[in-house]
Amino acid sequence: MAKHSISVTVNGVVRTAEVESRLLLVHLLREVFRLTGTHIGCDTSHCGACTVLLDGEPVKSCTVLAAQVDGSQIATIEGLEQGGKLHPVQQGFTEKHGLQCGYCTPGMIMTSVALLERNRNPSEQEIREAISGNLCRCTGYVNIVKAVQHAAAAMA
């Protein structure tokens, strides 16, 4: 079957690849571009560990084809830190102990970054709804919510 030449901007850098049609976006990121911060959890589009931003919107990269993102902008966890400085959401997760094992964390952070881009002062309910596609088995979500609130305050 034919391969596709794709060009995609990842964390501000244009990257190209020759991909099979069936290559998943999460595999493009992890295996081809070696950006392993994006995790594979359930592989059945439930857990959200694979969440990245596609043209600014948080999506489950295990359920998107690499071929579908030709010409798009992708943001992954690796792109958040700028010049040695953590993104406010990353800082919030640090300050408020928003992670334990860390497996859900990159996905949780990317969803939260997108939330705060759209809604700079979300209520607790709005935060919980926004992250409802990201499952965490460790924290019980309480400190994740606090982390996002901390970030919102810092970004105000």
Partner 1 sequence: MIPAAFDYQRAASLDEAIALLSRFGSDAKILAGGMSLLPMLKLRLAAFSCLIDISRLRSLEYVKEEDGMLKIGGATREALLERSELVRTRYPILLDTARVIADPLVRNRATVGGNLAHADPANDHPATMLALGASVVARGPNGDRSIAIREFFKGVFSSALAADEVLTEIRIPAPPPKSGGAYLKLERKVGDFAAAAVAVQITLGSDGRIARAGIGLTNAGVTPVDAAEAAQFLIGRTPDARTLAEAASMAATKSDPSADRRGSVEYKRAMARVLTSRALERALQRAQAH
Chain residues that interact with partner 1, rule: CB under 8 A: 1-2, 4, 20-22, 24, 43-46, 48, 51, 54, 57-60, 62-65, 67-68, 70, 111, 129-130, 132-134
Side-chain half-sphere CA neighbours of 98 within 13 A: 25
Residue whose CB is less far from partner 1, 46 or 97? 46
The amino acid present at 110, given as its one-letter code, is M
What does the block give as tokens for 31? Answer: 């295996």
Helix/strand/coil for 64: coil
Measured distance CA(32)–CA(46) in Å, rounded: 24
Residue whose CB is less far from partner 1, 123 or 132? 132
Residue whose CB is less far from partner 1, 1 or 83? 1
Q: What is the DSSP letter of 95?
A: H
Residue whose CB is less far from partner 1, 45 or 91? 45
Candidates 113, 120, 106; CA nearest to 155 is 120
